[in-house]
Amino acid sequence: MTDATAGAAPGQKKPGKVLAADGRPLKESLNRALRLQKMRALMLIAPLLLFVLLTFIAPIADMLFRSIQNGIVSETLPRTTERLADWDAKTGELPDEAVYEGLYYDLFIAAERKLHTRLGSRLNYEMTGMSSLFRQSGRALDDIGDVYFDQFDDLDKNWDEAEPWAELMGDPAWLTKMQAWKKADGKKMPKFVLADGMDELLPRTAETYAAFAEYTQVDEGKSLVKEEPWVLVHTALYQDLMEKDVTGYTGPQAEMLKAADAAVGGFESITFKEGMQEVDEDWLDHGTWQTIQMYSPEFTNGYFLNAVDMQKTPDGPEFRNENQQIYGLLFKRTMFMSLMITGSCILLGYPVAWLLANLPMRQANLLMILVLLPFWTSLLVRTSAWKVMLQQQGVINDVLVWLGLVNDADRLVMINNQFGTIVAMTHILLPFMILPLYSVMQTIPPTYLRAAKSLGATNWTAFWRVYFPQSVPGIGAGSILVFILSIGYYITPEIVGGTTGTFISNRIAYHISSSLNWGLAAALGTILLAVVLGLYYAYDKIVGIDNVKLG
């Protein structure tokens, strides 16, 4: 505020506080109007924004996130992974009995819920043989529990019955409701409630029975007074009775429990380690445990390491054997070939765009249709047509042989290699180069060239010093379009690329649809995305993205 305004007549408002018609300060009012306008604009684009967010950004983010997700191991084997955390793989010794106990419990529950094979196929990406180890273990696992189950059963037939178990483990109030429940009533089954103090008296039994109850009621939709528990629960009961004192227990089925307590001391038993060994020898393999431990955390860098030809080892990341390295080579090849394709698109597209921009309207329109024609043909048809053209018994070779330029015995190999991919993809992506070039060239006034020539420039100088610099933004736009499109292409390289002309995207497609290793596919995709963004950034720094024009 200056002195002049401060010295203005008293009673007048300060000029900084100009008011609008409604008495608010003008600035505030203007801001409000602008904000409203912005909101309105935002509302208008909201459907599109939401659509893009929900159907495009979110799924992609979710897919990319899979490249580090690894929760499946600790979710399927919670006890095992927790106990395995302290195990030191470098000692060369196998984990202790507690880990095997955890494994038996986890694997049993996972096998009942049919989740174990899923984990097997996940771990098989890291170590060959895991898939069948888990599948077979799921089948053979009952043998361990049967040892105890048979002995309990011999002691008292009620240990094989659903109802006594439900009475022993369940809260009496719940049990009454459960017994009264009928499926025909259409009401929801009363959710299992553990009897008071049971989790202290028989902790393992309570835990496993609760898991059984949840599975039976929720997944199977069956009644707990009809289904006898898993043999896992009998194993747990044996362990609890060996450790805990149940003489003070007075609840339901106390006699049955006490009789069992008195008898378990004489039960035949096996260690979980022996049991798992009988299930499959590989559970005594050091490598199996190393792999499980290495992939216990909820997030892993394993997929990214795989994507750059490395692998996790107890001593940190290491490069894979040379005969298994492939992704580095494919990334380099993808870059090289995309650049080649972009380059040939510029070479072929530039003259066409120039013609389009300079011919009279009638011819230009006809030419435009010819440029767009490939767009209206199926991609597969175009690619297959190239096959017919380029193959050894194909049109081009036949013509060359007929002309006597090529010997019939050594026809040119022009397909199923890099050459084939570059030719076919240049053809397919050419319109993406021509169209931006054309629209930029149309804006260049022809008078400039004439002026240059009238000032004494040769044709070449006029083109190179006057015309070409003005068309560079078109080349930039076309190049970015073609390069980014070609980097992600996979159908054409798959059909005409053979072994040397395939891209990284072919491997991504393979891992998405065939090997189902979505984590690795996501890691490869993330790297590809990062590379594209990096190149875009570099382009912006070197050429400047403001120089790119689509018209």
Partner 1 sequence: MIFKKTLMATTALTVAASGAFAQDMADSMTIVSWGGAYQSSQQKAYSEPYVAMHPDVSVTWDESSNEAVAKLRAMNEAGNITWDLVDVVAADAIRLCDEGLAMEYDPEELLAPGDDGSSAEDDFGDLIVSDCYIPQIVYSTTFGYRTDMVPEGVEPPSQICDVFDVEKYPGKRALEKRPINNMEWALLCDGVAKDDVYDVLETAEGQDQALAKLDTIKDDVIWWSAGADTPQLLADGEVFMGSTYNGRLYSVIVEQEQPVAMMWDAQVFDLDGWIIPTGLPEDRLARVKDFVKFATDTTRLADQAKYISYGPARASSAPLVPEDMKQHMPTDPANAGNTFLYNYSFWADYRDDIDAKFQSWLAK
**Contact set with partner 1 (CB under 8 A):** 114-115, 117-118, 120-121, 124-125, 128-132, 135, 323-326, 329-330, 333, 391-394, 416, 494, 498-500, 502, 507, 512-517
12 vs 393 by CB, closer to partner 1:
393
Report DSSP letters for 119-167, one per residue: HHHHHHTTSTTHHHHHHHHHHHTHHHHHHHHHHHHHH-GGGG-HHHHHH
What separation in angstroms does the CA of 152 have from each of 112, 230, 250, 270, 320? 21, 13, 20, 15, 51
What is the widest separation between alpha-carbon atoms in the chain? 116
Report DSSP letters for 285-340, one per residue: -HHHHHHHHHT-SSB-SHHHHHHTTEE--TTS-EEPPGGG--HHHHHHHHHHHHHH
Tell me the closest approach of the beta carbon of residue 221 to partner 1, in angstroms.
Answer: 12
Alpha carbon distance 259, 262 (integer Å): 5
Q: Is 375 helix (H, G, I), strand (E, B) or coil?
A: helix
DSSP-derived letter for residue 223 is: -
Alpha carbon distance 468, 462 (integer Å): 9
Tell me the closest approach of the beta carbon of residue 134 to partner 1, in angstroms.
Answer: 8
348 vs 401 by CB, closer to partner 1:
401
Tell me the closest approach of the beta carbon of residue 364 to partner 1, in angstroms.
Answer: 39
Tell me the closest approach of the beta carbon of residue 52 to partner 1, in angstroms.
Answer: 19
Alpha carbon distance 142, 188 (integer Å): 31
CB distance 233 to 205 below 8 Å = yes
Tell me the closest approach of the beta carbon of residue 410 to partner 1, in angstroms.
Answer: 13
Tell me the closest approach of the beta carbon of residue 69 to partner 1, in angstroms.
Answer: 13
Helices vs. strands in the chain: H and E counts, helices first? 29, 2
DSSP-derived letter for residue 377 is: S
312 vs 507 by CB, closer to partner 1:
507
113 vs 177 by CB, closer to partner 1:
113
Tell me the closest approach of the beta carbon of residue 116 to partner 1, in angstroms.
Answer: 9
Half-sphere exposure of 81 (CA within 13 A, CB side): 17
296 vs 325 by CB, closer to partner 1:
325
400 vs 457 by CB, closer to partner 1:
400
374 vs 394 by CB, closer to partner 1:
394
236 vs 523 by CB, closer to partner 1:
523
Alpha carbon distance 194, 171 (integer Å): 5
Q: Is 310 helix (H, G, I), strand (E, B) or coil?
A: strand
